[in-house]
Amino acid sequence: MIALELKGITKRFGSIVANEGVDLQLKKGEILALLGENGSGKTTLMNMIAGIYFPDEGHIYVNGEEVVIRSPQDAFKQKIGMIHQHFKLVNVFDATQNIVLGNGKKKFNIKKSVSEVKEISEKYGFHIDPGKKIYDMSVSEKQTVEIIKVLYRGADILILDEPTAVLTPQETDKLFAVLKNMKEDGKSIIIITHKLNEVLEISDRVSVLRKGHYIGTVNTSETTESELTEMMVGKAIDLNIERIESEHVSDRLIVSNINCKNREGVKILENVTFTAKSGEILGIAGIAGSGQRELLESIAGLQKIDTGEITYIDPESGESVNLRDKTPTQIRELGVRLSFVPEDRLGMGLVGNMDIVDNMMLRSYENGKGIFLDRVNPSNLADSVISELEVVTPNSHTPVRRLSGGNVQKVLVGREISSSPKVLMVAYPVRGLDVNSSYLIYGLLNKQKENGTAVIFVGEDLDVLLALCDRIMVINSGKITGIVDARTVKKEDVGLLMTKTFDNDAKEVEDGGSNE
């Protein structure tokens, strides 16, 4: 029995073809993994089923009948519900309000809805407080709200877009258990992912997209990781990340006991202490929003800290430089070569509406003569970044927001490493990038490490962190729960550190999985 079928779906965004002639079948009561690299058109395809986009060409069949899905309402009518990667929740509403939102069929009665929400939670094994405001929720709680929202509307076909990207291994296990419960209940599920191990663990069948084209579908029980990789990337490639040996390791950046609070007075960093060493990649693992951003920003001089010290050791003179309470400009003027690739590329690292040249100038615009700007050097830099990192762009005067995600990141990383930094901080540098760009970025980080830079790498994919970094520091609710050797630690142990409830003496534990 086929629950959902797509035939010849095509979607273009101007000259960019997101999907071309895609066919897909979802059987009733199965979990289908939709596999593909970033940018292969998985999300676009699913958005067309969910009514966010309208296909340029093609047909959609639900339970054997052709349907037209013009809007999310139409999708709900076909009992299709999608859990988007970027949650679609209203922050100032509570869980129940979000769940009943837009559901016009039932009578508006919040009390009754609360009990229905509880019912659904019990049936599938969720834990949720119906009256909790979204802005007080953790990522996995928000995801739970999203799933309940879809179930509350009576969806039979569920689409989950990269649901595990933001979860710890333990939370992922829980989610998968829930998905299995739902499958047993007769729901049909599509899960979008690019993580092969998850595909093998949860799905019944796998459909693969590559560059917007449908490649094929295989039964999970009859396939292997390497076969899937080849389908996904188009050639057999080595997915192993290289880890080069560290040389000339010495202390470069010493962070001791820093504390800071946000505007509401909640502590976001608590007694954070660690040392970043030259010639080494220090990974930072943790659930999204655990204080990673604030930590990097306090080092970069963007976040005021209440107590603690940040000390930079100059590699030439060996002198200590105090970075506390310095602005980015002051840090630059002290001769500290600190580079920072922030998580929000177009919102912080770059200016979307400016061209590549002007973006290159961000760090160096003050070098111009007198009050005037110098655009010659930035223009040369732009040209060399474009040619060395193979940025795909018409020319250096293209606004960066017109570039694809991978090229935007190349421009940003290219600028940040152009100053030959001694400390390089990168936050989620491969998020949204395709395999080739990701590996190019890993290569660049390794190159920096080879040059004796202290690299701090905030990542979300534990497999990547384990393969690339020398040490991994785990942060949980603004506290460091452990610093472990990436060569020997087990992934599950890192996962436990990410979620463990805090005890006071877990500040710095070298080379150990846990400190209890």
Partner 1 sequence: MAEVTNNSGAKKLHEPLFHITRKSAVPFWKASLIRAIAIFAALVACGIVSLILIGKNPFYIYKTMFDGAFSTKRKFWIFIRNAALLLGYSLAIVPAFKMKFWNLGADGQVLMGGLATVACMLFLGGKMPDAAVIAIMLVASIAASVIWAVLPAIFKAFFKTNESLFTLMMNYIAMGLVTYFINRVVKGGSGVLNPIGYANLPDIGGAQFAGRKFLLTIIIFAVITAFMFIYLKYTKHGYEISVVGESENTARYIGIGVKKVIIRTLILSGVICGIIGFVLVGGIDHTIRSDISAGRGFTAILIAWIAKFNPIFMVLMSLFVAFLEVGSGQVNTVFQLDNSAFSSIIVGIIYLFIIGCDFFINYRILLSAKARETLSKIGGIFKKKQTREEPEETVGEETVLEESDKTEDGKTESEITENDFETAAEKEDDRI
Partner 2 sequence: MMFFVFLTSAISMGVTFLYGCVGEIITEKSGHLNLGIPGIMCVGGFGGCLGVSIYMQSLSSPDNANWFLLIIISMFFSVLFSAMFGALYCFLTVTLRANQNVTGLAITTFGVGFTNYFVKNINMANFTKASALISYSPLKGKLGEFGDIFVSHGFFIYFAIVIAIVAALVLNKTRVGLNLRAVGENPATADAAGISVTKYRYIATIIGSMIAGLGGLFYIMDRLGGHWEYVLDIMGWLAIALVIFTLWKPIISIFGSILFGGLYIAGSYITGLSIHQKELFGLLPYVITVIVLIITSVLDSKENQPPAALGLNYFREDR
Q: By CB under 8 A, is residue 114 in contact with partner 1?
A: no
Chosen residue from 8, 21, 29, 72 binding partner 2 by CB under 8 A: 72
Q: In what helix (H) or strand (E) does residue 271 lie, and over which residues does it extend?
A: strand 267-277
Which is closer to partner 2, CB of 111 or CB of 369?
111
Count of positions on this chain that bind partner 2 (CB under 8 A): 27
Q: Are 6 and 49 in contact (CB under 8 A)?
A: yes
Q: How many CB atoms lie within 10 A of CB 401?
A: 12
From the list partner 1, partner 2, none, partner contacted by residue 318 (C-beta under 5 to 8 A by kind): none
Decide if 443 contacts 430 (C-beta within 8 A).
no
Residue pair 357/375 in contact (Cβ under 8 Å)? The answer is: yes
Spatial contact of 479 and 505, defined as CB atoms under 8 Å apart = no
DSSP state of 87: -
92 lies in the binding site for partner 2 (CB under 8 A): yes
363 contact, one of partner 2, partner 1, none, CB 5-8 Å limit per kind: partner 1
- Does 56 participate in binding partner 1 (rule CB under 8 A)? yes
Least distance from C-beta 399 to partner 1, angstroms? 8
Stretch that binds partner 2, among 103-111, 314-322, 329-337, 436-444 (CB under 8 A): 103-111
Q: How far is the CB of 372 from partner 1 (least distance, A)?
A: 6
Q: Which stretch binds partner 1 (CB under 8 A): 36-44, 153-161, 294-302, 468-476?
A: 294-302
Q: Is 90 in the site for partner 1 (CB under 8 A)?
A: no
Chosen from partner 1, partner 2, none, partner binding at 371 (C-beta under 5 to 8 Å by type): partner 1
Q: Which of 273, 243, 239 is nearest to 256 (CA)?
A: 273
The residue from 10, 63, 103, 170 that contacts partner 2 (CB under 8 A) is 103
| Minimum distance from residue 76 beta carbon to partner 2 (Å) | 6
Letters for 115-154 (x = contact with partner 2 by CB under 8 A, - = none) are --------------------x-------------x-----
Note whether 119 binds partner 1 by CB under 8 A: no
Q: Which long-range contacts (CB under 8 A, 24 or more apart) does 217-224 make?
A: 217/24, 217/25, 220/33
- Show the 3-state SS of 421-462: CCEEEEECCCCCCCHHHHHHHHHHHHHHHHCCCEEEEECCCH
* Binding status of residue 353 toward partner 2 by CB under 8 A: no
Nearest-angstrom CA–CA distance, 272 and 227: 43
Q: How far, in Å, CA of 67 to CA of 88, rounded?
A: 25
Neighbours of 344 (CB within 10 A): 11
Convert residues 376-415 into a mask of x (bound to partner 1 by CB under 8 A) and - (unbound).
-------------------------xx-------------
CA dist list (Å): 332 to 294, 329, 363, 395, 491: 20, 5, 9, 29, 37
Q: Do 161 and 192 meet the contact criterion of CB atoms below 8 Å apart?
A: yes
- Quote the CA–CA distance of 43 and 159 in Å, as a whole number: 10
- Range 253-279 burial, b when 16+ CB lie within 10 A, else e: bbbbebbbbeeeeeebbbbbbbbbbbb
Q: Assess 84 for contact with partner 2 (CB under 8 A).
A: yes
Return d(Cα 453, Cα 276) in angstroms, integer: 10
Comparing CA positions, the residue from 472, 475, 466, 413 lying closest to residue 438 is 413
Binder among 237, 239, 351, 464 for partner 1 (CB under 8 A): 351
Q: Out of partner 2, partner 1, none, which partner does residue 365 contact, by CB within 5 to 8 A per kind?
A: partner 1
> Is 71 an interacting residue with respect to partner 2 (CB under 8 A)?
yes
Instruction: Report the SS3 class of residue 388.
Output: helix
Six token digits for residue 313: 């050791």
If binding is defined by CB under 8 A, does position 334 make contact with partner 1? Answer: no
CB-based contact 470:278 (threshold 8 Å): no
Binding status of residue 330 toward partner 2 by CB under 8 A: no
97 or 398: CB nearest partner 1: 398
Binding-site member from 76, 176, 340, 457 for partner 1 (CB under 8 A): 340
Residue 342 touches which of partner 1, partner 2, none (Cβ within 5-8 Å per kind): partner 1
CB nearer to partner 1: pick between 176 and 312:
312
Backbone phi and psi for residue 459, each to the nearest 5 degrees, phi listed first: -130, 170
Work out whether 329 is an interface residue with partner 1 (CB under 8 A): yes
The item of partner 1, partner 2, none sharing an interface with residue 352, based on CB under 5 to 8 Å by kind, is partner 1
Question: Which of residues 234 and 347 has its CB atom nearest to partner 1 in the complex?
Answer: 347
Determine, following the binding rule CB under 8 A, whether residue 248 of this chain makes contact with partner 1. no
Rounded to whole angstroms, the Cα distance separating 80 from 441 reads 37
Which residues lie near partner 2 (CB under 8 A)?
13, 50, 52-53, 71-73, 76, 82, 84, 88-93, 97-98, 100-104, 108, 135, 149, 264
- In the complex, the residues that contact partner 1 under the rule CB under 8 A are 13-16, 54, 56, 66-68, 70-71, 300-302, 327-332, 340, 342, 344, 346-354, 358, 361-363, 365-366, 368, 371-373, 401-402
